[in-house]
Amino acid sequence: MDATAVRTGTEGKIWGGGNQPLKVSYGKMMMWFFILSDALTFSGFLAAYGFSRFKFIDSWPIADQVFTHFPFLHGVDAPMYYVALMTFILIFSSVTMVLAVDAGHHMQKNKVIWYMFFTIIGGLVFVGSQAWEWTNFIQGEYGAVETRAGKILQFVNAEGERVALEDVAADISVEREELTRSKGLWYLEEQSTLPDVSFAQVKAGFLADNNLFIRTQSQTEEGEKVVLSREESIKKLNDDGVGVVQGANLRHNEYGAPLFADFFFFITGFHGFHVFSGVVLNFIIFINVIMGTYERRGSYEMVEKVGLYWHFVDLVWVFVFTFFYLV
């Protein structure tokens, strides 16, 4: 049986879309293709994070106990406040981008300039805020003791409040020297710097203060970290404690599982790179708008293209924010 082609269009052509399928220009179509492929990439990363968290669900760090910093409020417990502010700024920049695109459709050059300017400022503030958050996450605030199995032991007082290693450590004289290739069987150059206090100082200070307890990585059914009794804490520290950890990196994490830090650095860093790239693209288009390039062309489609990308990175942050900070 012969195959019959279905003809469409007024001229009887097999394909009537011309050079603009779905009435979308080539540039916008390619931007949608890029967004789709990038969305699949982020989906894979977040899915991997979700599987890893489910595997270690009983010992995963609690976001409210990790992201508690706020600029210029040292020592104030402000869980998630700064992250919420960052999210608001990024979403607000998406609103100004919508207004810039709408102004472009109406050929209002001055409004496009102002709205894109606010969008760029919002992006820069977000990237700077993320850098500040990374710095605090890397440096840490309280510190912890690491066990032989790589678990984290945190110190709390009788009220359940975290206590820093510096406040626990006893003022004793101990000889400390950095590990070198000639003096150690196992050596990593990037870990050669000494922490502020030694394990011996922390241990001596803990044993001397009966108001200190150990909080483990394990969680109760209510989602709270398990706090050991005084006797259990002493036994745990004596039997399993081997060293101190301050801050977080790709090998050690004072907040809990090192895998959490690995995902945090990779996924938030990958998203931060997208935001920074968006700021650069917006700035280039911003300069072209000021020079009147799109006014002469009679179209602000380039503003709409970068707007699609900017909305995408904003939407991705909503998922990253949900996975890392809310769930």
Give the total number of structural domains in the chain.
Answer: 2
Residues 216 and 268 in one domain: no
Tokens for 205, please give them.
């200070």
**Chosen domain end from 196, 221, 246:** 246
Q: Which domain holds residue 71?
A: 28-140+259-326
Tokens for 59, please give them.
């010992």
The answer to whether the CB of 97 falls within 8 A of the CB of 310 is yes
**Do the domain assignments include residue 254?**
no
- For every one of its 327 residues, what pLDDT tens digit does the chain have, with 9 covering 90 and above? 444 444 444 444 555 555 666 677 888 888 999 999 999 999 999 999 999 999 888 888 888 888 888 887 766 777 889 999 999 999 999 999 999 999 999 999 999 999 999 999 999 999 999 999 999 899 888 889 999 888 889 999 988 888 988 888 887 655 555 555 555 444 444 444 556 788 888 989 999 889 999 999 888 877 788 899 999 999 999 998 888 988 888 888 888 888 999 999 999 999 999 999 999 999 999 999 999 999 999 899 999 999 999 999 999 999 999 998 987
Question: How many whole angstroms from its chain centre is CA 152?
Answer: 21
**Do the domain assignments include residue 14?**
no
DSSP class of residue 9? T
**Do the domain assignments include residue 136?**
yes
Residues in Cβ contact with 222 at an 8 Å cutoff, skipping those fewer than 6 apart: none
Residues 125 and 267 in one domain: yes
**Do the domain assignments include residue 4?**
no
Sheet with 152-156, side-by-side order of all strands: 225-227, 213-219, 152-156, 144-147, 241-245
Q: How far apart are CA 97 and CA 308, in angstroms?
A: 9
**Do the domain assignments include residue 19?**
no
Residues 128 and 150 in one domain: no
Write the CATH number for 37. 1.20.120.80
Q: What angle (nearest 5°) sits at the alpha carbon of residue 156, between those of residues 75 and 199?
A: 95
**Do the domain assignments include residue 23?**
no
Residues 38 and 99 in one domain: yes
**Do the domain assignments include residue 20?**
no
Amino acid residing at 241:
G
| Burial class of 137 by CB neighbour count within 10 A (0 to 12, 13 to 18, 19+) | buried
**Do the domain assignments include residue 16?**
no
**Chosen domain end from 217, 246, 275:** 246
